[in-house]
Amino acid sequence: MCLVDSKFGYLERETSPRGKMRAKISTVIKTSENQMWEELQKTSSLMYVASPILKFKPEQGHPVPEKWGRGTEYKLKVFLFGILPLGSHIIKLVELNKEKNLIVSHEHGNLTKAWNHRIKFNAIDDETIEYSDEIEIHAGIGTLFVWLFAHIFYRHRQIKWKKLFQS
């Protein structure tokens, strides 16, 4: 079901009988597939596109490398607006596929039993891509509220991606 369609992209919502919700937020970004792929590999890019809404800090004893790696669990502490602690969040990349322009992570933390994220993008032309974030969320009784937060957060991220490539 498509809920929002605008110049900023669109949002799809799907509810499953197991209490999970899915969202798909898409947009068009002025960059090439190669530039997008390079930025997606950097952990610093996550920090940039998430800020100022979320700030991630590695848990003590669990450093985060400059580039993401498949199969490794990254243990992070999450802060809302850099101030309010939201607890731990674990990110594990299960697929990094450059040929398909696809990244899949399985994530969970104190607030979510599942926050599984799928990034997919395709070239429209040499300088433009269509980019989408698909998220499967399971947060028990709070699933709807987390899904609503994801709607705001991923729109923010996509705006920040656009700003990153404008500079």
pLDDT in tens, 24-76: 999 999 999 999 999 999 999 999 999 999 999 999 888 888 999 999 999 99
The CATH number, out of the four listed (1.20.200.10, 3.30.530.20, 1.10.10.410, 3.40.50.300), of the domain defined by the range 2-166: 3.30.530.20
d(CA 108, CA 138): 9
Instruction: Quote the CA–CA distance of 48 and 27 in Å, as a whole number.
Output: 18
Share of the chain above pLDDT 90, in %: 83
Sheet strands (E) in 98-161: 102-109, 114-125, 128-138
Which tops the pLDDT comparison, 59 or 1?
A: 59
Q: How far apart are CA 32 and CA 30, in angstroms?
A: 7
pTM of this structure: 0.86
pLDDT number for residue 61: 82
Q: Residue 15 above 90 pLDDT? A: no
- Close Cβ partners of 61 (under 8 Å, ≥ 6 residues apart): none
